[in-house]
Amino acid sequence: MSKISIVIPVYYNEDTLMDLYQDMKEKILGKIGAYELVFVDDGSGDASWEILKQIREIDPYVRLVKLSRNFGEHAAILAGLSVCTGDCAVTKQADLQEDSTLILEMYESWKRGNKVVLAVRRSRDENGVKVFFANLYYAIIRKFVNKNMPVGGCDCYLLDRKVIEVLERLDEKNSSLTLQVLWSGFRTDRVYFDRKDREKGKSRWTLAKKVKLVLDSMMSFSYAPIRFMTFVGVLFDLFAVGLMISVLVEYFTKGVPILGWASLMCVVLLSGGLILTTQGILGEYVWRTLDASRSRPPFLIDEEVPGRAEEESGGQLL
């Protein structure tokens, strides 16, 4: 009989964890057969870890992982995938913004032979500004990075064991896990859901993290930034040549003296800013190369607590 692992990254979710477990228990845990819940505490500074221990006492199929510090959701999910024991694994957010029954649909799709099942947002019951910028990000990704990115985007997905092994071999840092999943190219299906607004807790998805996600997505999967530098450089060259020709024509035909200190300074300052921008883009690539060459692991597990059922069976779970 097949077994599914549900991997849940946790970061300051003390307000929602118990509600999340009760919601899954009522809606799906009695319907999916063999399962395990893998909670990964990504360096939370609240009572999340203590609440997770309480959940483990309630459910014998709960496995806990605690990272040594906050490594980010990408690393937390990878940590969960690295220890899960299911034939497939599905990721789930801890903020109660997607219905737990979505996992049932994804699991059935996997049973039909799909190696990857994406949970795509059909609509978002959230702030209009937030929705606009989220849709803008996904539009940019579809245009410059991967055309297979769903229009509504996706944070949750079900992965076959074969796909999990591929992600573990990639071992990429400063990247987007969702784009790695899309890049893998395995047979993929989509299920759609309506994302609810957050009712409990406070989102830790800060502007800095959003900007880093955009940079990581572009730098790791697209040559668009390099092409952009080339395009702008050629554009400025053409502009400079045209300006030089116009100045020489006026000088020889109308006798206009070659002056223009102010305009010259504007060009110098503009070109200087452009040079610094392109150097910054190159610096992003160089830093990512340096970070990869150091071969530091994307996460460090401080503590791992297996499920009680596994402990009682001596580590042998079907």
- Cα angle for residues 19, 23, 26 (degrees, 5° grid): 135
Domain 3-221+297-312 has CATH 1.10.3210.10: no
Cβ contacts of residue 300 below 8 Å, gap of 6+?
Answer: 67, 68, 69, 71
Contact by Cβ (8 Å): 108, 31: no
- Reported confidence tier of residue 262, pLDDT bands at 50, 70, 90: low
**Judging by DSSP bridges, how do beta strands 156-160 and 116-124 pair with one another?**
antiparallel
Cα(26)–Cα(250) distance, integer angstroms: 82
pLDDT higher than 70, residue 257: no
Closest by CA position to 205, among listed 8, 6, 7, 13: 13
Overall average pLDDT of the 51-72 stretch: 94
N- to C-terminal Cα separation, the chain: 8
Cα(105)–Cα(101) distance, integer angstroms: 7
- Per-residue pLDDT of 212-244, as tens digits, reads 777 777 777 676 777 777 777 777 777 777 777
Helix, strand, coil percent content, the chain, rounded in steps of 5:
50, 15, 30
Per the rule left: phi > 0, alpha: psi between -120 and 50, beta: everything else, 201 is left
Please give the mean pLDDT across all residues of the chain.
83
Contact by Cβ (8 Å): 312, 61: no
**Beta strands of 30-77 (E only): which ranges?**
34-41, 62-67
- Per-residue pLDDT of 271-294, as tens digits, reads 777 787 778 788 777 877 777 777
pTM: 0.77
Beta bridge pairs of residue 121: 193
- Reported confidence tier of residue 204, pLDDT bands at 50, 70, 90: low
pLDDT at 5: 96
Return the percentage of the chain with pLDDT > 70, whole number.
Answer: 89
Overall average pLDDT of the 139-159 stretch: 85
pLDDT at 255: 73
pLDDT higher than 70, residue 252: yes
Tokens encoding 81: 């995938």
Residues in the chain: 318
- Reported confidence tier of residue 315, pLDDT bands at 50, 70, 90: low
pLDDT at 199: 64
pLDDT higher than 60, residue 144: yes
pLDDT higher than 70, residue 259: no
pLDDT higher than 90, residue 139: no
Cα(212)–Cα(93) distance, integer angstroms: 20
Burial of 310 (0-12, 13-18, 19+ CB in 10 A): middle
